[in-house]
Structure 1
Amino acid sequence: MKQTHRDFLTELQTFIPEERLITDALRTLAYGTDASFYRLIPQIVVRAESESEIASVVKLANKMLVPITFRAAGTSLSGQAITDSVLIQLGDGWKGYQINKDATEISLQPGVIGGQANSYLAPFNKKIGPDPASINAAMIGGIAANNASGMCCGTAQNSYRTLKSMKLILADGTLVDTGNPDSVTQFKQSHKMLLDSLDALGQQTRANDTLRERILHKYRLKNTTGYALNSLVDYTDPIDILQHLMIGSEGTLGFMSEITYQTVDEHPNKASALIFFDNVRTTCDAVAILKKTPVSAVELMDRAGLRSVEDKPSLPDFIRELPEHAAALLVETRAADPATLAMQVEAIKASISHLETIQPCEFTTDPEEYAKYWAIRKGLFPAVGAVRLTGTTVIIEDVAFPVEQLADAVHDLHQLFDKWHYNEALIFGHALEGNLHFVFTQAFDTQEEIDRYDGLMVDVANMVVGTYDGSLKAEHGTGRNMAPFVELEWGKEAYALMWELKELLDPQHILNPGVVLNKNSHVHLENFKILPAADPLVDKCIECGFCEPTCPSRALTLTPRQRIVIWREIARLESISNGPNADPERLAELRKEYQYQGTDTCAACGLCSTTCPVGINTGDLTRSIRNKNNEKRTKMAQWLADHYGTLAKASRVTFAAADVTHGLLGTKAMTAITGTARKLSGGLIQQWTPSMPTGAPKIKPKPLDASSTAPKVVYLPSCASRTMGPARGDEDQTSLADKTEALLRKAGYQVIYPPNLDNLCCGMPFQSKGMFTAADSKSAEIEKILLEITENGTLPVYSDTSPCSLLLKDKLDPRIKLYDTVDFIDEFLMDRLLFTAGTEPVALHITCSATRMGQAPKLKRIMSACSTQVVIPDQITCCGFAGDKGFSTPELNASALRTLKDAVQSCDAGYSTSRTCEIGLSHHSGIDYKSIIYLVDRCTQPKLSQVASTEENSRIQTQKV
């Protein structure tokens, strides 16, 4: 670390806690990564939690002339969120929001994810204007700082156009709230010279006819190249000019600590059509026509793009037979009511009826059907990533042209791809705005490859600007890779004005220097990110960061993206360990630190795969590493697998003994004693909490009634259900197995248990630790028994724990019809039971396994039948208990559930589908969590017509009389 940064760190330590000042080699590399193809490693990472902290850091940076860069989610694509100086990350303290009475405005802190903001507005049929493809990962700070737009946003609903007010911190550390008259008045007094200068620049710009017309022309298109010079033309109040200059400034002019947006309508009625044309020109002609109709989005896909996804199972076969120059438009229209929607659809179809299409133009209002269409469009970028060669990266560029020249522009881009041999490149984009994205793969490991990339970018820049006077960056932000071309696009006069604004607002050049404006004409060819082969399980990762919001360890250690970044660096260092550039000290440090940061604190829940564009499950990498680390324990693991019944019995005894001890000592003494024991053992003794289960009673199957015609179900209780009873103090002390059996019988089923039950296990305890052989032996054992007892799959199997169900669905013979709790209730019990919804608020935790099995809609449906008030905390994904991690690494569980208590404070009880998850959920929420079986049982009565047993039916009828 440079001496300047050491001194800066010393000063930071006077007002930022040590644990939020990060300087180690592993985390500075991990946290310094964004979605771009550039790499800079910060000297210091600061996790800031408040405006006052940000202001103090900025003041210190201004005083000591230390460059700082602000980071939200790091999904930016152009290198604008990286630094080799000081990186300021947003901690948990930046997720606040407030909606006004009629939901026409929403105030958001920069750490709120865009998709979460829309979920807050959804009950009002409103949303924020910007809708980038990364909206479920990108945070408001980045969305505004890049003026990101998206598929439906256009230029009318981006951050610039929908901004109401903001709180911002300037380069001197001053905070101003443009929505607060008192703050504005005070700011006008303290910063009169600054505002006067902005006012003068605005007047000069508006008086300069040539420059004013240039600015107006440039913003007819989507444009995020350079600074928002339109603010000098669109507004006369210097406060308005100032706040609109911040939009798209990429953290180079100030820090936006809160943004108030004017919301836009989110019409509930939608219809989409995928329309195919035999050539690009006709496709673009259709775009120009559709722009005048009531469409909300028109997405263009060229033939290369369609070819990249044509083998997807959801696509019709005819796409494979499309002609070489074919293209498609994905069209969507939205309306407040079905009748208006139908009229709009007819108007759209009529407008292009004279154009020849390959297939008839048909709109669908079926959400599942049009979701497939949009999945095609959203799959284009990852489709390239999935087939790229290991070691190459995926680059997505972002340009805009006048719509009337779109066909020619597409043709010219294809010509450039041919010239520079980018044979895999494809084009798609927001056609209504003339906004095209082109995607290609690129290596940076040789000078020849770097020169090829430079040649393409120079040619693209000259074509976009020289031929079409278009935008070099329509919505992805200028960043490092387009900074050298800003003057080319805007001209000398406008470019000089941008530098004048930078000098005015950041005279010391401490705010993200080199981004947006850079006098180094080769900055786009420096500091390339290298993506070496690390493991086939993760080599397709494009480091986009879409996985991060789902990860339970994201606030504790590393996210999936960051785990892959570090594992790649370890692999790179290993590959050069015998060469002249070897760095054994760094390699040893990363290996050592990764054990805890990467392996021990990974829940391996697989939620990352649900949001990863290329479907990577980083948990697979973690299990693979654990497998290598546990090679010496293979025989012990197999012994435990072979004697699992003994292990299960011992577990029951241990839980029972702990409960007895708890009863004798009391909660306070038990917590103190076990906490001390854990510390003295170095964490070997597992964590005890008051939510620990008691020992479950041994299951005693009842004999079947041979004369009954009731349907049969094979009930497979998990080992957790068989060994863990309710916690001491739970109102209902019935074990899950007994409660489940009672509910199944209430619904008219005969319940069959597999033989040798105590010895059965799905293999999850071994699988999660990388002990694959032992895990496979247990799942094979279950498979054999289930095939026999279900008569080769004739009878359904009920599995009561979602992680076990997920694993078994992947492992078992497909003849076995295995249903998880959620699936079985939804498919069979909802029609066999009478539900009476309660009115008390209840909390629902959707486990990672349930999410991966696509059960969220079913779970919500079941819960809604049981309660009129269901609370689903919006920032909780995987709980982080991860089987036994809640015992062995309790800080993971605590971090994952750090916001749970506040979110469920109105609830008296919570429900889930995994017994181990419920331990941590109960402990960290302050309310009791249990299986949804308990709630369903409480809220239901049998339907008389579906009670199969004649004797039971007669008894119920007698009771009613």
Structure 2
Amino acid sequence: MAEKMSSTVTSFYKKLGSLIPKDRLLTDPARLLAFGTDASFYRLIPQLVVLAESETEVQRILQLSAELKVPITFRAAGTSLSGQAITDSVLIIASKGWTGHELHDYGEKIALQVGVIGSEANAILAPLGRKIGPDPASINTCRIGGIAANNSSGMCCGVAQNTYHTMDSLRLFLADGTLLDTSNPTSIEAFRFSHKHLLDGLDELATQVKANKPLAKRIHHKFRLKNTTGYSINALVDFEDPIDILTHLLVGSEGTLGFLSSVTFHTVPDYANKASALVVFPDVATCCQAVTALSKAPVSAVELMDRRAMASVTGKPGLPPFINDDLSADACALLIETRGEDADALAAQIAAIQKTIADFQVLEQVDFTTIEAEYAALWAIRKGLFPAVGAVRQTGTTVIIEDVAFPVEQLTSGVLRLQELFDKYQYSEALIFGHALEGNLHFVFTQAFDTAEEIERYRLFMDDVSQLVAVEFGGSLKAEHGTGRNMAPYVELEWGSDAYALMKAIKNLFDPENLLNPGVILNDDEQVHISNLKPMPAADPLVDKCIECGFCEPACPSRALTLTPRKRIVLWREISHLRRTAKTGAEKQRLETLEEEYTWQGIDTCAACGLCSLRCPVEINTGELTLKLRAEQNQSYQKTAQWAGDHFSGLTAAVRGGLKAADVVHSVIGTDAMSGISQTVRKLSGDRIPLWSKGMPKAASQKAFAHPDAAESDKPAVVYFPSCASRNMAPARMDFEKEPLSDVVVRLLHKAGYRVIYPENLSGLCCGQPFQSKGQPEVASEKGDELRYALLKASENGRWPIVSDTSSCSNQQRSEHPDTLQIYDLVEFISEHLLDRLTLRKTSEPIMVHIPCSLQKLGGQAALQKVVSACTTHMVIPSDITCCGFAGDKGFNTPELNASALSPLSEQVPNGCREGVSTNRTCEIGLSTHSGVPYHSVAYLLDRCALDPSEI
């Protein structure tokens, strides 16, 4: 039970216990703290976190909230930038269980539950040439619930394609638990009867607004801009039917008026033909004049970057050479994108845009390119601006990204005046970029909140920004990031007293008890934006640059079990801070509790796969922190690890003996009995004995290694290093494949005309990765060096390429010795060198494909898909699966992690599928267990499809 749970929340918790399993009612201090942060610079620690997975649960939660007067806040991904996804009361998480979708009218519309990630929605629509309108920068992480609740937009979305304008219907719950489905006429009619008072109230407010001509005019003006400050009161002038008014008020309401269960969007075209250019102008004025001209041209996006923005990425690889310190101090750039229905239309649009730009003085430019790698490099400049500031900030400071919109005709003055404020308040690192066509500017700066003086500097700065944007220019203080707590004190300043009173009346109609996300959007506390500021204490140089954006979370295999990388860092920051400062008994007790809980949640259940680094804007690998902490934990095992490294050959022989013994027992008593006995023994041992599973491999034969190819052959040579996993683990009893992987790889290489060389003393060689993952870096380094020397000798100092048949092993070798040897992962070598040498007979059987985290880090996803596509017409890559969570031996010792990471897998196996392929032997054990079909190396599939030269 949480120490600070109030009596009403305690009652709420107890009553929910009859509906929701206790493991989804979080009260432990570690996870409460971890959920106390979103992507903003605020922190509020909830008293209770509820992982709600169904409409029935949400309905009961709302009813209990109303009954007990308990404030609740709903949250999806927690990427909110304005403090709207945190609470010190009850936090309701709606992500798992909310991932359904339904296509309508051949993709012209799509119904999405609120837990669907934005990019996944677009992946569903991509084969139909469609996408959803909103395109926030966080689209790979944020979920539909947050996109709609914040009325998010983005770089290409503008105003016309946000949720407000592209929404077809909503399925929602009000504060009293009532369901309204606006796609269902029966639901609407029942609601008109049951909630006549609410609808009459909205109708009356709409009448008042339309009669108030100055207010109606102001609303029209404000919403021609991007605007998410306050409520979407344009609904009161845009619609006549109170049902339409209600649903559009819910968009952008940040969970303060109700809960969105599902959103049906009108989709928009997603043209494959696109091109981008980067144009640098001599000054802001010229740049903004060009924006005005381009607004009439066929552009999809126009992104502005001031000189400080460009300076922040100077020196980054792949940038145009003119982005350097010699660029004019007043320079300002536009990144322009255009998309066409076909190549001819695109060419015509490019010509029209170039003609428009020709009227302006240009300092430098990168001409329009349609080559994906080239225009991706240009957009990497824009996308790298926010993390560029985060990467250089001082430890202990936070990165703030503000979001305003000026009337586009006043954009020049707006940029210059903002730059003056940066200088006035000494934010020397602050930079400006944004969606220029809408006058929407983001500015990023670093801020410390550790002294009263720093907090006051921020307060005065925001006062001046608000006066400048909202009053002088009539712009919006939050164009697309939502009001949250951040701008709540300034809503009345921006909108005026009439509109503010209108917003309060709306809140009172929907939520008279102020129980839904209280304090967000409307807040009478003028200091709320400088209250509950998030501490960012030093924790470890490996993670201190974390800005807690949450972009890492969808990639983490433990996200549904314990913690994500962001949450691990939040906890470790608190633990590190308490270790330095705890003095009272209560503080020391809190430290002890968090340390104890972190052992399981932070260390033991972390796969240390490193996928978080591929999603992180500042490339933080939280797994490296986990490995460091494991090393500190496991110092007493160093001698044991050293012995294992020195006796590796004998140790692996013992492993094969164990696998043989287990397989004999399995063959006698059967799978069900073997599984039951294993679970019982593990439970009796206190989870110390590893868990057996039906995907457990048999022992691999060593015969193949006894007969190397003749050295005098005139065939091209390949040094083949079978990993310790593939040397010792053959396919499982459930698998129709029976041969060890090494036999198959050698046969494939022979079919392609290569001779095979093995390194000497093969049975004792290891890349070191198993020791690294156990927190024994010294032994890992020794084994890695030993392997490197063996491979140097075998390859004749790099004359011959080296093929590693296990991706985790390949990744370990490449990361330890990136430049000394020509090391290929097996799937890379097949893709680059074998496919062209083989004659393939394609199958139509569905093949499940898992891309291991190590292969993702190697950048080998496309290679694996290329190989599988060469073998089958039906490749299946399951959604919502990243790292499998087997993590070396964690599938045996922490099977909960593997089970959680692969929980969405089995339901995605198509009828008639009899196999899955991957590139890591241990991953394949867990994949086989949790999918119900055998997984093995892609080499088996390719070998079956590749004709022997004698057959051709």
Q: Which interval holds the TM-score relative to the shorter structure?
A: over 0.9
Which residue number in structure 1 is paired with residue 436 of structure 2?
A: 431
Match runs of 1:71-90 below 5 Å: 71-90=75-94
Residue 167 of structure 2 is aligned with which of 159, 163, 166?
Answer: 163
1:253 aligns with: 257
- Asked if the contact 2:278/2:365 (under 8 Å) is kept, the reply is no
Tell whether the 8 Å contact from 2:76 to 2:95 is kept in structure 1 after alignment: no
SS of the aligned residue for 1:362 comes to strand
Counterpart AA for 1:684: R
**Separation in 2 of the partners of 1:17 and 1:91?**
16
Residue type at the aligned position of 1:328:
A
**TM superposition shift of 1:787:** 1.0
Q: What letter matches 1:928 in structure 2?
A: P
What's the CA shift for 1:31? 2.0
3-state secondary structure, aligned to 2:705: coil
What is the CA distance between 1:673 and its match in structure 2?
Answer: 1.4
TM-score by length of 1: 0.97
Which whole-Å CA distance do the structure 2 matches of 1:940 and 1:277 have between them? Answer: 56
* Equivalent position of 2:502 in the other structure: 497
Equivalent of residue 112 in structure 1, options 116, 121, 139: 116
Aligned mate of 1:123, from 121, 127, 132:
127
Structure-1 residue corresponding to 2:348: 343
Q: Distance in 2 between matches of 1:343 and 1:307?
A: 33
Alpha-carbon displacement from aligned partner over 1:62-121 (angstroms, at most 9, x marks no partner) = 111110000000000000000000000114210000011321000000000000000000
One-letter amino acid of the counterpart of residue 734, structure 2 = G
* Letter of the structure 2 residue corresponding to residue 937 of structure 1: D
Q: What secondary structure, in the 3-state scheme, does the structure 2 residue paired with 1:16 have?
A: coil
Return the letter of the residue paired with 2:429. E
Question: Is contact 1:838-1:866 (8 Å) kept?
Answer: yes
Confirm or deny: 8 A CA contact 2:141 2:554 kept in the other structure. Answer: yes
Q: Could you list the per-position Cα deviations for residues 640-691 of structure 1 after superposition, in whole angstroms to 9, with x for gaps in the alignment?
A: 1111111111111111111011111211221121111101111111000111
Q: How far off is 1:384 after superposition? A: 0.3
Say whether residues 1:202 and 2:202 are aligned partners. no
What are the superposed Cα offsets for residues 804-844 of structure 1, whole Å, 9 maximum, x if unpaired?
A: 10110011262310000121011101111122321111110
Partner of 2:842: 837
Larger displacement relative to structure 2 (703-712 or 746-755):
703-712
Greater Cα shift, 191-200 or 775-784? 191-200
Equivalent in the alignment of 1:228? 232
C-alpha distance in structure 1 between counterparts of 2:604 and 2:887, whole Å? 11
Q: How does 1:455-854 map to 2 (within 5 A)?
A: 455-577=460-582, 579=583, 583-698=587-702, 699-812=704-817, 814-854=819-859
Q: CA deviation at 1:706?
A: 4.3
Structure 1 unaligned residues grouped into runs of 5+? 945-955
How many aligned residue pairs are there? 945
**Alpha-carbon deviation of 1:33?**
1.7
Displacement of 1:32 in angstroms is: 2.6
In structure 1, the residue corresponding to 2:560 is in which secondary structure?
coil
Q: How far does residue 858 in structure 1 lie from its aligned partner after superposition?
A: 1.6
Q: Which moved more, 1:738-747 or 1:312-321?
A: 312-321
Give how far 1:211 is off.
1.1
Shift of 1:700: 2.4
CA contact (8 A) 1:32 1:87 kept: no
Q: One-letter code of the match for 1:558? A: L
State how far apart, in whole Å, the 1-side matches of 2:572 and 2:885 are. 22
Deviation by residue 1:764-786 (Cα, 9 ceiling, x = unmatched): 11001110000000000011111
CA deviations 1:221-269 (Å, max 9, x no partner) are 0000000000001100111000000000000000000000000000010
1:936 aligned partner, one-letter code:
L
Give, in whole Å, the separation in 1 of the partners of 2:56 and 2:43: 30
1:185 aligns to 2:185 (yes or no)? no
Q: Is the 8 A contact 1:392 1:531 kept in 2?
A: yes
Q: Which runs of 5+ in 2 are unaligned?
A: none
Comparing 759-768 with 315-324, greater Cα deviation is found at 315-324
Residue 327 of structure 1 deviates from its aligned partner by: 1.3
Q: CA deviation at 1:205?
A: 1.2
User: Offset at 1:702?
Assistant: 2.3
Q: Which residue of 2 aligns with 1:923?
A: 929
Amino acid of the structure 2 residue aligned with 1:105: K
Give the deviation of 1:580 after TM superposition.
5.4
**Shift of residue 619, structure 1, vs aligned partner:** 0.2
AA aligned opposite 1:135: I
1:398 aligns with 2:395: no
Aligned to 1:950: none
Checking the alignment, whether the CA contact within 8 Å between 1:701 and 1:753 is kept in structure 2 is no
Distance in structure 1 (CA, Å) of the matches to 2:366 and 2:863: 33
Query: Relative to structure 2, which stretch is displaced further, 75-84 or 905-914?
Result: 905-914
The answer for the alignment partner of 2:868 in structure 1 is: 863
Match of 2:940 in 1: 934
Deviation sequence 1:837-896 (CA, Å, 0-9, x none) = 211111100111111111112211111111111110111000000000000000000000
Cα distance in 2 for residues equivalent to 1:588 and 1:830: 57
Structure 1 pair 109–887 and aligned structure 2 pair: CA distance change class (3 A): same
Shift of 1:707: 4.3
Which residue, out of 906, 913, 930, partners 2:919? Answer: 913
Tell me the residue number matched to 2:243: 239
- Aligned partners of 1:240 and 1:91: how far apart in 2? 26
Which residue of structure 2 lines up, in the alignment, with residue 948 of structure 1? Answer: none
1:263 and 2:267 aligned:
yes
Q: Could you say which residue in structure 2 is the equivalent of 1:420? A: 425
TM-score by length of 2: 0.98
Give the structure 2 partner of residue 142 of structure 1: 146
* Distance across 1 between alignment mates of 2:423 and 2:930: 58
Give 3-state SS (helix, strand or coil) of 2:714's partner.
coil
**Paired residue for 1:376?**
381
Residues 209-220 of structure 1: matches in 2 within 5 Å?
209-220=213-224
Shift in Å, 1:582: 6.5
Distance in 2 separating the partners of 1:250 and 1:809? 46
Alignment check: 8 A CA contact 1:28 1:42 kept = yes
Give the Cα separation in 2 of the matches to 1:91 and 1:416.
40
1:10-25 alignment to 2 at 5 Å? Answer: 10-25=14-29
Compute the displacement of 1:378 (Å): 0.4
Alignment partner of 2:445: what SS?
Answer: strand
Provide the C-alpha distance between the structure 2 equivalents of 1:561 and 1:910, rounded to a whole number of angstroms. Answer: 32
Q: Secondary structure at the match of 2:845?
A: coil
Separation in 2, partners of 1:805, 1:94: 37
2:445 equivalent in structure 1: 440
Any conservation in 2 of the 1:301–1:327 contact (CA below 8 Å)? Answer: yes
SS in 1 for 2:731: strand
In the superposition, relative to structure 1, how do residues 848 and 229 fare at CA in structure 2: closer, same or farther (>3 Å)?
A: same
Q: Tell me the equivalent position of 2:47.
A: 43
Q: Is the 8 A contact 1:298 1:330 kept in 2?
A: yes
Q: Does residue 287 in structure 1 map to residue 291 in structure 2?
A: yes
Q: Deviations over 1:20-51 (max 9, x none)?
A: 11111111111232111000000010111111
